[in-house]
Amino acid sequence: MLNQFVEGAGLGLRRGLLAALQADAAEQLDFLEVAPENWIDVGGRFGRQLRALSERTPFLCHGLSLNLGGTAPLDLQLLLAIKAFLDQHDVRGYSEHLSACADDGQLYDLMPLPFNDETVRRVAARIRTVEEVLERPLIIENVSAYARLPGALDEVQFVRAVLEEADCQLLLDLNNVFVNAHNFGFDAVEYVAAMPSERIAYLHMAGHFDESAQLKIDTHGAPVCDPVWDLLRHCYATHGVRPTLLERDFNFPPVSELYAEVARIRTLQQEAGR
């Protein structure tokens, strides 16, 4: 396991929440999570507010731009900037998406990967390179997707194979599991149960948008729905309680409503731990 990792229930820090969290985040939340790319070299008032929070509340980082699944060379300059940010804010853990997000330039989206042995080996090698540069472990996240590329493995087999080949840990995003299960017709409960308990570092919870009866979109713009709460209960019962984070990227309600969702996570953790 990671050294000095977090526990309890946390919230994703977005700039639109920065001011609202200054007053009582340390009392309401066990940890915060930021995308380092959105904060590197940010100074002034925003930089001071971020630093004030990181001095009072444990921080995780969840990256957006490493392009772990791509074929373009890893961006060494970005990696070094991220390392400096992680050191500056005493970040407890760093995660990234199991996807591609760049080619000749940044795509600003998380693209699906072919689920095959070649991709497993390539992604695992890139994960090891990232860890060498950052001098710390990298946690990978299962992602939502809206297309499947040809490959001999299914999603569960692919995720497990990358975890094993790279010898890394998993950020298990339960909303992504729910969205993909609906869009691609598999069982979300079986997916969660099939993940290796010993590699699950922490969990994500979020809301999504129903584009149609056939398509759900992972937006992080709505409250968590009841089936995803049920999936969280199942995950705790199967794998034990893990640190769990609520993501909300836009359509921000009053911060008290976000604190209430975080409190619901904490209640489920307490119930599962009895």
**What string of H, E and C letters represents the secondary structure of 85-98?**
HHHHCCCCCEEEEC
- Tell me whether residue 4 is in a domain: no
- Note the pLDDT of residue 3: 46
The tens digit of pLDDT for each residue in 114-129 reads: 999 999 999 999 999 9
- Domain region containing 93: 9-272
Q: For a pLDDT cut of 90, what percent of the chain falls above it?
A: 88
- Note the pLDDT of residue 2: 46
Maximum Cα–Cα distance for the chain, whole Å? 51
Do the beta carbons of residue 113 and residue 99 sit within 8 Å? yes
- Tell me whether residue 225 is in a domain: yes
- Tell me whether residue 141 is in a domain: yes
Its pTM stands at 0.95
- Tell me whether residue 184 is in a domain: yes
Environment class of 7 (CB within 10 Å of its CB; exposed 0-12, middle 13-18, buried 19+): middle
- Tell me whether residue 3 is in a domain: no
pLDDT exceeds 90 at position 105? no
Q: How many domains does the chain have?
A: 1
- Tell me whether residue 23 is in a domain: yes
- Note the pLDDT of residue 1: 39
Q: What is the distance between the alpha carbons of residues 272 and 274, in angstroms, rounded to a whole number? A: 6
- Note the pLDDT of residue 109: 66
pLDDT exceeds 60 at position 23? yes
**Distance, first Cα to last Cα, the chain:** 23
pLDDT exceeds 70 at position 103? no
Higher-confidence residue: 256 or 213? Answer: 256
- Helix 76-88 and helix 117-134: axis angle, to 10°? 50
The residue whose two tokens read 């119930």 is 271
- For 69, list phi and psi in degrees, rounded to 5: -90, 0
DSSP state of 146: S
- Note the pLDDT of residue 86: 97
The tens digit of pLDDT for each residue in 214-253 reads: 889 999 999 999 999 999 999 999 999 999 999 999 999 9
Helix ranges (H only) for the chain are 18-21, 25-28, 44-56, 76-88, 117-134, 155-166, 174-184, 188-194, 226-239, 255-272
Q: For a pLDDT cut of 70, what percent of the chain falls above it?
A: 96
Which CATH number is 78's domain given?
3.20.20.150
247's tokens: 């993501």
- Tell me whether residue 1 is in a domain: no
Q: What is the distance between the alpha carbons of residues 74 and 143, in angstroms, rounded to a whole number? A: 20
